[in-house]
Amino acid sequence: MKKDLTRQQYLDLYYFMRLNRGVEDTMVKLFRQNKIVGGLYSSLGQEGISVGSAYALEKKDWLAPMIRNIGALLVKGVPPRDVFMQHMAKYDSPTKGKDGTSHFGDLDNLHIVSPISMLGDLIPVMAGVAIAGRYLGQKIVTMTWIGDGGSSTGVFHEGLNFAATQKAPFVLILENNLWAYSTPVRRQVPLENLADRAKAYGIASYIVDGNDVVAMYKTAKEAVDRARAGEGPILIEAKTFRRMGHAQHDPAEYVPKDMRAYWEARDPILLYEKFLTSEKLLDTKGKKEIDDKIDALLQKERDFAESSPMPPAEFAAEGVYCTGDDCHKVQAKWERDMREVMPPKSSVPAVWTVEGFGAGKGSSGGIAPIHFGDTSATTEKAENEERLAPKSPPKTIAKKKSAKTATVAAGSRKARR
């Protein structure tokens, strides 16, 4: 880690990582008290990735989290109470109790797209959001995350190819945490570095230590800046380790003990605390102030969440489908003169030229000359004229043949006489 951020930036990264872990520790307690109704997925040991990458975004930028990216939500401004209530399916939650996990977003204020359970599907979605933002003149960048296992899905490749061909201002964080549920990465991908997958689509990629939050932030910031400048999508592979099972129900007994011990010693928060202390950015007093601030916040947010009522039974049939403007109004937010991307300014002639094949026009523009190989223009002109020359009517040919046939027949009769 190098000391070249501001003191406040360093402390922000520390605060959000600590808050990320505190939120998840609180939810583990709620889960064990049967107050969380859905699944619970831990990002223990991966906090540096979510926090460092999301911290590189501007307020106007968009993100779409996955199940282990609570830290990104906190950085974006989601209060812990929303995370608690969402998992407890409370009526005051963002989805009014209709979902028991992390499927919620905020399109109007925080620019958060809800997670999609089908792994990889967020990639084309966020590529589309990025392209739409560019079209509207918003100068935004979009970001989402995917795991090592999710990078083997078809839509990962389809979405990344789409983003690449469109040069979408999009950053994809590939969290290589070494396990796709219970399958080790070496048994699912024949690559040492998953960042190499970017080569197939002609886009840039980075490899970063996901347990180094400063390195994560700097790498993501560079990628975001490049994407915003028009360089197209960028893939970042963050090397890390999933220290818990796939979810709370999974004890992860398939993970070798020595592997777990190695990565526990590389805890991103402990590593970062050592750095902050060595650089005199954090002392015992400052650490206690942050601890007290987080503890007070989490207690207040948990109390609010537990006091929130469960949704009434009759609400189950409401709000299932969007019914239009009375549900929520979807309207383009133009930040440029829309005439720039509308006809006639955006129009281009319907004419194309392909080397070796001449020029083509629209159906109303006549016949296009076509060249094949070394065919000369003179030969081609003669061939076209011959092809287009009017042919003799079939009836005339038939009459000539009939006359000839009659003459031959007359001669035959004379010979017989």
Buried b (16+ CB within 10 A) or exposed e, 111-145: bbbbbbeebbbbbbbbbbbbbbbbebebbbbbbbb
pLDDT of residue 328: 76
Instruction: Tell me the one-letter amino acid at 332.
Output: A
| H or E, element range at 289 | helix 284-307
Which CATH number goes with the domain that contains 257?
3.40.50.970
Give the domain-ending residue among 264, 294, 317: 317
The Cα 77–Cα 84 span in angstroms is 14
Q: Confirm whether 35 is domain-assigned.
A: yes
Q: Are residues 360 and 310 in the same domain?
A: no
Q: Confirm whether 41 is domain-assigned.
A: yes
Concatenate the DSSP letters of all residues of 135-150 into one string.
Answer: HTT----EEEEEETTG
Within 212-357, strands assigned E span 234-239, 352-353
Q: Are residues 25 and 127 in the same domain?
A: yes
pLDDT of residue 16: 98
| H or E, element range at 124 | helix 122-135
The Cα 240–Cα 250 span in angstroms is 19
Whether the pLDDT of residue 400 is over 80: the answer is no
The Cα 120–Cα 160 span in angstroms is 10
Within a 10 A sphere around the Cβ of 289, how many other Cβ atoms? 12
The Cα 369–Cα 360 span in angstroms is 7
Q: Are residues 398 and 266 in the same domain?
A: no
Q: Confirm whether 27 is domain-assigned.
A: yes
Q: Confirm whether 101 is domain-assigned.
A: yes
Q: Confirm whether 54 is domain-assigned.
A: yes
Whether the pLDDT of residue 193 is over 70: the answer is yes
Q: How confident is the model over 376-405, as a mean pLDDT? A: 54
Q: In the structure encoding, which two tokens stand for residue 219, read together?
A: 């790498």
Q: Confirm whether 330 is domain-assigned.
A: no
Q: Are residues 163 and 223 in the same domain?
A: yes
> Residue 355, class by beta-carbon neighbours within 10 Å (0-12 exposed, 13-18 middle, 19+ buried)?
exposed
Q: Are residues 226 and 305 in the same domain?
A: yes
Among the listed residues 133, 139, 136, the one whose alpha carbon sits nearest the alpha carbon of residue 336 = 136
Q: Are residues 279 and 380 in the same domain?
A: no
pLDDT of residue 387: 59
Residue whose structure tokens are 């000539």 = 400
The three-point CA angle 353-383-396 to 5° equals: 135
The Cα 22–Cα 295 span in angstroms is 8
Q: Are residues 352 and 285 in the same domain?
A: no
The Cα 20–Cα 75 span in angstroms is 9
The pairing of strands 170-176 and 234-239 is parallel
pLDDT (tens digit per residue) in 6-47: 999 999 999 999 999 999 999 999 999 999 998 899 999 999
Q: Confirm whether 342 is domain-assigned.
A: no
**Which has the higher per-residue pLDDT, 154 or 416?**
154
Q: Are residues 31 and 159 in the same domain?
A: yes
Residue whose structure tokens are 């809800």 = 114
Q: Confirm whether 332 is domain-assigned.
A: no
**111 to 12, 71, 201, 347: CA distances (angstroms):** 20, 15, 27, 32
Q: Are residues 377 and 258 in the same domain?
A: no
Q: Are residues 228 and 366 in the same domain?
A: no
Residue whose structure tokens are 């076509």 = 370
Give the chain's largest Cα–Cα span.
137
Q: In the structure encoding, which two tokens stand for residue 213, read together?
A: 């939050």
How many structural domains are present in the chain? Answer: 2
Q: In the structure encoding, which two tokens stand for residue 169, read together?
A: 């201002």
Q: Assess contact for 53 and 218: CB atoms under 8 A.
A: no
Q: Assess contact for 187 and 157: CB atoms under 8 A.
A: no
Is 0.75 surpassed by the pTM of this model?
Answer: yes
pLDDT of residue 297: 98
Give the domain-ending residue among 295, 317, 339: 317
Q: Are residues 416 and 283 in the same domain?
A: no
Give residue 405's pLDDT band: very low, low, confident or very high (50, 70, 90): very low
Q: Are residues 292 and 352 in the same domain?
A: no
The three-point CA angle 267-270-276 to 5° equals: 140
Give the domain-ending residue among 317, 336, 356: 317
pLDDT (tens digit per residue) in 258-271: 999 999 999 999 99
In the chain, the percentage of residues whose pLDDT exceeds 70 is 83
Residue whose structure tokens are 């590939």 = 174
pLDDT of residue 195: 96
Q: How confident is the model over 357-383, as a mean pLDDT? A: 55
Structural domain including 361 reads 348-417
The Cα 182–Cα 186 span in angstroms is 12
